[in-house]
Amino acid sequence: MSFVPGLEQVVVAETEVSFVDGENGRLVYRGEWAKDLSEGHSFEEVAYLLWNGHLPSAAELEVSQAVWSQQRELPQEIQAVLDAIPHETGMMSVLRTAVSALESQAYAYPPTVEQAAAITMKLPTIIAYRYHRLKGTTPVASRSDLGHTANYLYMLRGVEPSPVHVRALEAYLILLMEHGMNSSTFAARVIASTRSDIVSSLTGAIGALKGPLHGGAPSHVMNMLRGIGTKDQTEAWIRNKLESDGRLMGFGHRVYKTTDPRAVALRELALRLSASDPWLELAVHVEEVAIRLLEEYKPGKKLYTNVEFYAAAVMNAIEFEEELFTPTFAVTRTVGWSAHIIEAAQGRLIYPDAAYIGKLPAAAAGATTP
Q: Which residues are catalytic?
A: 253, 308
Q: Do the Cβ atoms of 60 and 42 come closer than 8 Å?
A: no
Q: Do the Cβ atoms of 308 and 217 come closer than 8 Å?
A: yes
Burial of 307 (0-12, 13-18, 19+ CB in 10 A): buried
Name the 3-class secondary structure at 251: strand
Single-letter amino acid code for the residue at 122: K
What's the rounded Cα separation, in Å, for the pair 106 and 241? 51
Q: State the DSSP code for 305.
A: B
Q: State the DSSP code for 249.
A: T
Q: Which residues of 69-90 are buried (b: 16+ CB within 10 A; e: fewer)?
A: beebebeeebbebbeeeeeeee
Q: Which residues of 258-280 are buried (b: 16+ CB within 10 A; e: fewer)?
A: bbbbbbbbbbebbbebbeeeebb
